[in-house]
Chains A and B, each alone.
Chain A
Amino acid sequence: MKKSTPKALILSGYGLNCEEETAFAFEYAGVHADIVHLKDLIDTPKRLSRYQILAIPGGFSFGDHTGSGRAFANKLTNHLSEELAAFVARDTLTIGICNGFQILTECGLLPGALTYNAQPRYLTRWLDVAVRAETCPWLSGIERLALPIAHGEGRYYLDESGRAELSRTNALGLQYVAGAMCEHFDLPHNPNGSLDDIAGVTAQSGRVFGLMPHPERALLFTQLPHYTYERDRLRRGGQPLPERGPGYAIFANARRYYA
């Protein structure tokens, strides 16, 4: 591995469950990824200082009991609040995906709250998001992405002044939009009733980023929901099949930030 290769710490434990595919996504994009159980990090908190990237992956920490992300966030705050503050104060990148996003808002590292979907039920589907943050390193050079969601508590809430502040400070990361994926499957653009269609927000000039969709599940072409359709279309046009999917760009950006 090259000397310049950045290192990512992927948290696991207590019901988080997307750590392996998230680690794979980072590795695939050229970032060294270590999966670390939260208990091990609590026991040796100093190791966080060895990393440039922190990822809190998706999952069902503590079964979403007492509210998604809340119990895990309590544990983080109880044991690692100083280390986390020091980590984000450095020139580091932090990403929270789905349950990780919920955890970051519960920790207060990202603004707003995530609550029950407008139809209070778990929902799995693909959709489109548009990038709004101009300075977020995670989203640099990206305009739109097709990604999957899978959550029961993804409705983003922040009061009006807070949302105005998000826009003003360039902290609004992603919005659900009616794009090509929604059109293909004839589905509404906002899956959960999020205010202002908010799908992801940022803090610390974009270095801390949380989003409900799962970019690590859109890493490869074969993960697309219309993969066989696209494969058929490209083959008929005599074009080669791509290897990567749209979510790759986010992980590649993390790599590029430390290039």
Chain B
Amino acid sequence: MMKNVTGQRLNIWSTIPDSRSHALTSTLARMSGSQSCEVIRVVDSYLIDAKLSKNEWGIVRALFSHPLVHANVLGGSPAPEHFLYAIEIGFLPGVTDNLASTVVETIEDSLGRSLKKGEAVYTAKIVYLDGELDRELVSQFAYELHNPLIERAAILSQREYTTQGGFLLRPPRVTLAEETAVKDVSLWCSDDELTLIGKLGILNEDGTRRGPLALSLEALKTIRTHFHALGRLPTDIELESLAQTWSEHCKHSIFADPIDEITEGIYKRYIKGATRDVRAKKGRADFCVSVFTDNAGAIAYDDEYLVTHKVETHNSPSALDPFGGAITGIVGVNRDALGFGLGAKPIANTYGFCVGDPDDTRPLYRDQACTNPLLPPARILDGVVRGVGSGGNESGIPTALGMLCVDDRFRGKPLVFAGTVGLLPRKKGKRALHQKQARAGDYIVVVGGRVGLDGIHGATFSSEALDSGSPATAVQIGDPITQKKMSDAIVKEARDMELYTSITDNGAGGISCSVAEMARECGGCRVELEKVPLKYSGLAPWQIWISESQERMTLAVPPKKWDKLRELLAKRGVEATRIGEFTDSGNCVVAHEGNTIMDLELSFLHDGRPIVFQQTKAPHIETAPAPKTRAGTIDALVLKLLARPSIASTAFIATQYDHEVQGSSVTKSLQGRGQVCTESAVLRPLLDRESGIVLSHGYAPWLSELDAYAMAASAIDNAVAAAVASGADPEQLALLDNFCWCSSHDPERLYQLKEAARACYDVAVAYGTPFISGKDSMFNDFKGFDAQGTPCMISIPPTLLISAIGVIDSVHRAITTDLKQADDCIYLLGDTLDECAGSEYLALVTGKSHVLHEGAQVPRVDVQKNSAVYRAYAQAVGKGYIASGMRVGRGGLAIALAKASIAGMLGMDITLPATTLSSDTYLFSESQGRLLVSVDPKHKTAFEKVCSKVSCTELGTVSEMPRMHITDRRGAEVCVLSLERARRAYRATFKNC
């Protein structure tokens, strides 16, 4: 291999104590259970696979280190004098190496010339270990440091290292020997063979298959008939293109197709229907500007601006490569803002992680031989947290809000939600910026990153369950800096220079979807595929067409604007390539080196999919005996609940995420002296005005198996309540729905889906909160094997994430959770009922979740009552009566009280009101529609007057005494909990993360 290498390694390491080594040593110590081994050096190693002159090597060597703190060596070994083992971690061929891109750019800038074709840089890390170690431990440690799906690890003992002169120079070049000719695919074969084509892909000459098309037998037969009428066979690229466009991921067929008696489908009836009815009712007060049609939804901000919002999921890729999947997810949804209208500027990110218990180390495998393990929940969590963080931080977009939900059933497949809020001026001159229209004759221009094999079959892959066939090429790694350059050039310059007529994101399906989608605006397109810039040669046309390589947008550019756009983008270091033009032919035509290889009518491409008639069946609900007697005191229960991973402090996430960039943050991710995590955020996106945006979210997957209607109703209620609690105007809220379902061909799962969608309509209409955008991911199932090689299937609980966004006229309305002053009055708004089914309390005391405990009631959302509570509270906010406010959520009133206390680092004296409920039920029931409020005593009367028409219970007062003191109405002590213990419990769960 050495003979192929023209270049050298440049190795750099720290000469002062390196905190990265210390952190790795801690990991190693945790794994070995011993303090007697350590990481003694971490080396950044750049393999510069290029031919440079002696003088140039001299320049390059000095570029990447600071003489005060670094040493470097070119060609030679960076090893310390003594070590026992060395591990080298590098990328597999074709994996995005962002660090290498910067190394290349720095080298080229400093040498004043470009590297030659074929020359490249590959980066790696080398870790040197010493102490009491054996190869077994070192191998485990190496596994901990890399992900075999995207990286390789090499291990050498000192002796091996010395003998072979360090790690080999192995540039992970991509060498492709695949078939690149376009071929016709015959679908005149048996149903079994057709099914195989649908499930595993088109057959290659060598007997392998190309990866899932996720086309049903029915769909393939429709295609067969269509082409029969045309008198020819489909080409491979036509088939792949149809698979992308018809995929569940892109067409949302389960939501669109008839289901039982609902012939128009649940999307049209319940989701769009809710928006239509809410908007009609609001009349002139309707604030929606663009719903469902564009990459994001948009509402009015003020006379000059719009705000957009979109939330996506990136589940399947995150299961394979948590960091890469999550960063791709967040950077991808940023492009939904950039691709809204003529380009909105991203102003806030949101996230949601649903994972298995990080303490759960039971292995799962993709194969029966147990050689292909899933990553355990702790590593999934670590990776997705870093991915979303890097994406936001490096892009300069504040990560304003997020959530972590832990449940055993997410260990086969995690959920990663990523959202982006955008800001767009309403007009530039006379042009409304939320409208776009590609015109026949406009050039098709692709902007941003180059195309490789990354993400091939991403859209069809996510439409299937995760099993051993999951392709590693479905993994992409986002590159925030390439995108930042593109984003700045578009929304800060090109948009306002009016250099394009339409823009959209290249997401799932790559250009096959983005170009075909834009072609609908004018009625056709013609693409010359060989013009698409590639990362490396050897890609077949169909691969170029559907690749999901990241950081790309597609623009429609009028010919007379093209030179100017190209010039601007070149100056900003952004690649822009004209790959064809929009037409009005009615067809989507793709040519490769002069030959037409695809010619499909847009109508067939977009609307030719066969409709599926779906049927549902009420599921069996699993029950469990009611808990007999409670174990332990209420104090102990509160402490245990505070430490439950879905309730505990996730400060380790919030503090890694820059929520202050852009200067817009008003209420923070961690609130009050005691730094409590929140469910909402208030932002001031334009510093020259007082108005603002409130963001919040709601979810309740713990109710899904009990009552999917109640689950969805709760999710909406939670989001609305959280937004209102932090100061939102309940009349000014819009919603986004993200359905993550499982086994969605199963009639019982479809029943739950239909119920959830029905709840979405009922609650959204009652609250006057329109849906403006949404997304679904329908097959979140893992099919694999446990440690014994026994087949197992783990499905996620059906999960609906509702995100709310609202505009407020003044950020001085913002309310936080922290108690403010001693002697303030504490109130509970809303009713507490005996609704413990699905509660964290029952899960804790019985050890069983997602079952219906006998006698327990599922929380119901009483829309009329709750609306009245929210309106009264909002009125009190407007009058300045509210010192602190929060939604009563997971864990019930007891946990809300504890969180308000911890946040304010103030105690409280609470007397439980006269009620028929037991103390446990009153404190731990998870009834919806409740807000916990504290009020300055001087506003007591006025506050009570505002709340006179709703359920308003005075619970007690804030106290200087640092403890939560609860008595029943006869004065008997129910709970005395020191604030310090509560805070410690709340923070303990993730304190080592």
Any A CB within 8 A of the CB of B925: no
Any A CB within 8 A of the CB of B180: no
**Interface 1/0 per residue, A5-17 and B, CB below 8 Å:** 0000000111101
B354 CB to closest chain A CB, in angstroms?
23
- Evaluate contact between B687 and A24: CB separation under 8 angstroms: yes
Any B CB within 8 A of the CB of A4: no
Q: In the complex, A143→B148 CA distance in Å?
A: 53
Any A CB within 8 A of the CB of B393: yes
A208 CB to closest chain B CB, in angstroms?
18
Residues of B within 8 A of A64 (CB): 394
Residues of B within 8 A of A119 (CB): 19, 23
Residues of B within 8 A of A20 (CB): 662
- Evaluate contact between A158 and B68: CB separation under 8 angstroms: yes
- Evaluate contact between B19 and A117: CB separation under 8 angstroms: yes
Q: In the complex, A157→B69 CA distance in Å?
A: 8
Any B CB within 8 A of the CB of A216: yes
Residue total for B at the interface (Cβ-Cβ under 8 A): 70
- Evaluate contact between B110 and A159: CB separation under 8 angstroms: no
Q: In the complex, A37→B811 CA distance in Å?
A: 32
B127 CB to closest chain A CB, in angstroms?
14
Q: In the complex, A117→B485 CA distance in Å?
A: 27
Query: With A120-B19, A120-B23, A193-B19 in contact, is A223–B666 under 8 Å at CB?
Result: yes
Interface residues of A in 68-90 (CB under 8 A from B): 70-71, 74-75, 78
From B16, B64, B65, B812, contact of A231 by CB (8 A): B812
Interface residues of A in 82-130 (CB under 8 A from B): 105-106, 112-113, 115-125
B19 CB to closest chain A CB, in angstroms?
4
Can you list 24 residue pairs at the A/B interface with Cβ under 8 Å?
A13-B572, A15-B396, A24-B687, A28-B687, A39-B572, A60-B393, A62-B481, A63-B98, A66-B44, A67-B64, A67-B66, A71-B102, A75-B109, A120-B20, A122-B657, A148-B660, A155-B19, A159-B68, A184-B673, A217-B665, A228-B814, A228-B884, A229-B672, A236-B936
Q: In the complex, A89→B19 CA distance in Å?
A: 37
**Interface 1/0 per residue, A177-201 and B, CB below 8 Å:** 0000000111000000100000000
Q: In the complex, A233→B884 CA distance in Å?
A: 12
Residues of B within 8 A of A12 (CB): 488
- Evaluate contact between B102 and A62: CB separation under 8 angstroms: yes
Any B CB within 8 A of the CB of A214: yes
- Evaluate contact between B98 and A229: CB separation under 8 angstroms: no
- Evaluate contact between A227 and B488: CB separation under 8 angstroms: no
- Evaluate contact between B673 and A14: CB separation under 8 angstroms: no
Residues of A within 8 A of B22 (CB): 120
Any A CB within 8 A of the CB of B659: yes
Q: In the complex, A39→B197 CA distance in Å?
A: 50
From A43, A78, A115, A123, contact of B109 by CB (8 A): A78
- Evaluate contact between B571 and A40: CB separation under 8 angstroms: yes
Residues of B within 8 A of A250 (CB): none
Any B CB within 8 A of the CB of A21: yes
Residues of B within 8 A of A65 (CB): 98-99, 101-103, 481
From B64, B572, B687, contact of A219 by CB (8 A): B687
Residues of A within 8 A of B659 (CB): 124
Any B CB within 8 A of the CB of A150: yes
Any B CB within 8 A of the CB of A232: yes
- Evaluate contact between A220 and B687: CB separation under 8 angstroms: yes
Residues of A within 8 A of B687 (CB): 21, 24, 28, 219-220
Any A CB within 8 A of the CB of B655: yes
From B109, B572, B665, B816, contact of A74 by CB (8 A): B109
Query: With A115-B14, A231-B812 in contact, is A222–B666 under 8 Å at CB?
Result: yes
From B16, B98, B488, B654, contact of A13 by CB (8 A): B488
Any B CB within 8 A of the CB of A241: yes
Residues of B within 8 A of A43 (CB): 571
Residues of A within 8 A of B688 (CB): 24
- Evaluate contact between B106 and A60: CB separation under 8 angstroms: no
Residues of B within 8 A of A112 (CB): 68
Q: In the complex, A236→B684 CA distance in Å?
A: 24
**Interface 1/0 per residue, A154-165 and B, CB below 8 Å:** 010111000000
Query: With A21-B662, A62-B481, A228-B667 in contact, is A78–B110 under 8 Å at CB?
Result: yes
A224 CB to closest chain B CB, in angstroms?
9
- Evaluate contact between B64 and A59: CB separation under 8 angstroms: no
Interface residues of A in 10-45 (CB under 8 A from B): 12-15, 17-18, 20-21, 24, 28, 37, 39-40, 43
**Interface 1/0 per residue, B667-693 and A, CB below 8 Å:** 110001101000000001001100000
- Evaluate contact between B657 and A217: CB separation under 8 angstroms: no
Q: In the complex, A148→B669 CA distance in Å?
A: 14
User: Which single residue of chain B is at the shortest CB-CB distance from A118?
Assistant: B19
Residues of B within 8 A of A210 (CB): none
Residues of B within 8 A of A40 (CB): 571
- Evaluate contact between B480 and A63: CB separation under 8 angstroms: yes
Any B CB within 8 A of the CB of A235: yes
- Evaluate contact between A70 and B66: CB separation under 8 angstroms: yes
Q: In the complex, A70→B64 CA distance in Å?
A: 7
Any B CB within 8 A of the CB of A206: no
Of all A-B residue pairs in the complex, the 5 with the closest CB atoms, nearest first, are A17-B396, A65-B102, A21-B663, A150-B658, A60-B394
Q: In the complex, A228→B396 CA distance in Å?
A: 25
Query: With A67-B66, A71-B106, A236-B821 in contact, is A60–B481 under 8 Å at CB?
Result: yes
Interface residues of B in 98-116 (CB under 8 A from A): 98-99, 101-103, 105-106, 109-110
16 further contact pairs, Cβ within 8 A, besides A119-B19, A122-B656, A214-B660: A12-B488, A15-B394, A28-B687, A65-B103, A106-B66, A115-B69, A124-B659, A157-B16, A185-B673, A217-B663, A219-B663, A222-B811, A223-B663, A229-B673, A229-B820, A232-B821
Q: In the complex, A28→B660 CA distance in Å?
A: 18
B236 CB to closest chain A CB, in angstroms?
37
User: Which single residue of chain B is at the shortest CB-CB distance from A150?
Assistant: B658
Q: In the complex, A7→B273 CA distance in Å?
A: 54
Any A CB within 8 A of the CB of B395: yes
Any B CB within 8 A of the CB of A58: yes
Any B CB within 8 A of the CB of A225: yes
- Evaluate contact between B660 and A124: CB separation under 8 angstroms: yes
Any A CB within 8 A of the CB of B826: no
A18 CB to closest chain B CB, in angstroms?
6
**Interface 1/0 per residue, B56-100 and A, CB below 8 Å:** 000000011110110000000000000000000000000000110
Q: In the complex, A43→B818 CA distance in Å?
A: 52
- Evaluate contact between B658 and A124: CB separation under 8 angstroms: yes
**Interface 1/0 per residue, A124-151 and B, CB below 8 Å:** 1100000000000000000000001010
Q: In the complex, A63→B661 CA distance in Å?
A: 15
Q: In the complex, A100→B884 CA distance in Å?
A: 38
Q: In the complex, A126→B484 CA distance in Å?
A: 26
Of residues B484, B663, B688, which shows the largest number of chain A Cβ atoms within 10 Å of its Cβ? B663
Interface residues of B in 566-596 (CB under 8 A from A): 571-573
Q: In the complex, A8→B572 CA distance in Å?
A: 22
Any A CB within 8 A of the CB of B441: no
Q: In the complex, A161→B5 CA distance in Å?
A: 44
Any A CB within 8 A of the CB of B389: yes
Interface residues of B in 481-508 (CB under 8 A from A): 481, 484-485, 488
- Evaluate contact between B572 and A37: CB separation under 8 angstroms: yes
Q: In the complex, A184→B884 CA distance in Å?
A: 17
Residues of B within 8 A of A58 (CB): 661
Query: With A116-B20, A150-B660 in contact, is A74–B110 under 8 Å at CB?
Result: yes
User: Which single residue of chain B is at the shortest CB-CB distance from A158?
Assistant: B68
Residues of A within 8 A of B656 (CB): 121-124
- Evaluate contact between A17 and B484: CB separation under 8 angstroms: yes
Q: In the complex, A12→B684 CA distance in Å?
A: 22
Q: In the complex, A25→B103 CA distance in Å?
A: 33
Any A CB within 8 A of the CB of B380: no
User: Which single residue of chain A is at the shortest CB-CB distance from B818?
Assistant: A229
Q: In the complex, A78→B19 CA distance in Å?
A: 30
Query: With A17-B484, A219-B687, A225-B668 in contact, is A116–B19 under 8 Å at CB?
Result: yes
User: Which single residue of chain A is at the shortest CB-CB distance from B16?
Assistant: A157
Residues of B within 8 A of A122 (CB): 389, 393, 656-658
